[in-house]
Chains A and B, each alone.
Chain A
């Protein structure tokens, strides 16, 4: 599991790759923390987690996402997820996470929704 981060205007774009299960969930949570601390510090409030590179996720990974979203919500921040692969999208539906998370089909559409300014400055790699 790997995480890379990119700042696009006022949006923090977090790209996740690999598998997130009970073996990697703690690492996933730890890797998200510094970025979410930005939220705590009031620096940035908008986060998009790009799950396009995630090919496997269990409830352990979902729990980490929920913990992150709650931490962010406390600081009046926003978390959205984007680019879910079909299997992950299905897991979001089965777990009803699609009802509590803002889910976008692409990173671009997530940016357009959260911050038109960031969307304008975003260059897909």
Chain B
């Protein structure tokens, strides 16, 4: 199973501005200390081995969109702004695709704007012959209404009714297994404004959990045990780690998001193999996200007892194979 991150940012897409890029260049040149590179290979080597991740790369700024590969058809969680690049990739690979109609399965955590805003910029939706199935724990009315309203005047120039693909909305119930595109899929209701839903995907003995826009307060042991059960033994958990615990317990309480260390505690309890922090705070730059990753790993080292947890921070274009 391959997980491909097209968008990892929370709430609103962001982009590195000129000052941020200049700072990266300045730091890289400073670390180069005037050295001479004999060839392109040496440059690549210097970049990869001498520059930290926030200098040589970055986390990106597209909002939530995660592709899960391994079935015969396309499967994607959420349609944030990252969906635009996913659509571009398909257009590059297949052109208009009139001779190659495709089926797309979209699993919606919820329909807040940052999770649907990529759809008007998803070319396959405009091409007849394609099939788009949009699944969610919300009612089909709620799902469809959000998409239609987003793609109607005065919000967008191309009306929903002009889309060429065959689009349907499908309600999924929580705590029930579904078989979709060769995957076993289960939903869990999560604490978020208007509710959100987490997904557990299983195939060929591998499991990935997608749990974003969820506020896990860990105050009710029965509820926490249910989450633990949903995460249990997953190979990968993609988790809303938007805030620090102090933020989510004070000024951002009830904003519907979790913290980096709550994710560690839940994943350790559930004996998860790999915990991937996701839905990054838009105000955080690459250095801050990198620092949070180091701190989260340190926290895991302090509290883990007999279970080792791999920890990473999702970034746009990251690929994880499980």
Decide yes or no whether B91 CB sits under 8 A from chain A: no
User: For chain B residues 236-272, which have a beta carbon within 8 Å of chain A?
Assistant: 244-247, 249-250, 259, 261-262, 264-265, 269
Whole-angstrom CA separation of A104 from B183 in the bound complex: 53
Bitwise, B284-322 to A at CB < 8 A (1) or not (0) is 000000000001101100110000000000000000000
What chain B residues lie within 8 Å of A96 (beta carbons)? 244-247
Determine if A59 and B250 form an interchain contact, defined as CB atoms under 8 angstroms apart.
Answer: no
Given contacts A63-B218, A63-B219, contact A91 B302 (CB under 8 A): yes
Whole-angstrom CA separation of A13 from B296 in the bound complex: 31
What is the interface residue range for chain B against chain A?
20 to 34
Decide yes or no whether A112 CB sits under 8 A from chain B: no
- Number of cross-chain contacts by CB at 8 Å: 61
Determine if A62 and B303 form an interchain contact, defined as CB atoms under 8 angstroms apart.
Answer: no
| Binding site secondary structure of chain B | helix
Determine if B249 and A26 form an interchain contact, defined as CB atoms under 8 angstroms apart.
Answer: no
What chain A residues lie within 8 Å of B264 (beta carbons)? 59
Determine if A59 and B246 form an interchain contact, defined as CB atoms under 8 angstroms apart.
Answer: no
- Which of A62, A94, A96 counts the most chain B CB atoms within 10 A? A94
Determine if B218 and A22 form an interchain contact, defined as CB atoms under 8 angstroms apart.
Answer: yes
Determine if A60 and B218 form an interchain contact, defined as CB atoms under 8 angstroms apart.
Answer: yes
Whole-angstrom CA separation of A22 from B225 in the bound complex: 10
What is the interface residue range for chain A against chain B?
20 to 34
Determine if B245 and A58 form an interchain contact, defined as CB atoms under 8 angstroms apart.
Answer: no
What chain A residues lie within 8 Å of B296 (beta carbons)? 94
Decide yes or no whether A41 CB sits under 8 A from chain B: no
Decide yes or no whether B38 CB sits under 8 A from chain A: no
Determine if A95 and B217 form an interchain contact, defined as CB atoms under 8 angstroms apart.
Answer: no
Decide yes or no whether B99 CB sits under 8 A from chain A: no
| Binding site secondary structure of chain A | helix
Question: Closest CB of chain B to A32's CB: distance in Å?
Answer: 14
Determine if A95 and B298 form an interchain contact, defined as CB atoms under 8 angstroms apart.
Answer: no
Question: Closest CB of chain B to A102's CB: distance in Å?
Answer: 13
Quick one: closest A residue to B264, CB to CB? A59
Q: Which residue from B218, B221, B224, B259 sits with its C-beta under 8 Å from A95? A: B259
Given contacts A22-B224, A94-B299, contact A58 B246 (CB under 8 A): no
Whole-angstrom CA separation of A67 from B250 in the bound complex: 10
User: For chain A residues 22-74, which have a beta carbon within 8 Å of chain B?
Assistant: 22, 26, 56, 58-60, 62-63, 66-67
What chain B residues lie within 8 Å of A116 (beta carbons)? none
Give 5 nearest A-B pairs by CB, closest first. A96-B246, A95-B245, A96-B244, A94-B295, A66-B249
* Extra contacts besides A21-B303, A58-B265, A60-B218 (4): CB < 8 Å: A62-B245, A62-B249, A91-B261, A94-B298
Can you list 28 pairs linking A and B with CB atoms under 8 Å apart? A21-B303, A22-B218, A58-B265, A59-B264, A60-B218, A60-B265, A62-B245, A62-B249, A63-B217, A63-B219, A63-B249, A66-B249, A66-B250, A87-B302, A90-B302, A91-B302, A91-B303, A93-B295, A94-B261, A94-B296, A94-B298, A95-B245, A95-B259, A95-B261, A96-B246, A96-B247, A97-B245, A100-B249
Chain A interface (Cβ within 8 Å of chain B)?
21-22, 26, 56, 58-60, 62-63, 66-67, 87, 90-91, 93-97, 99-100
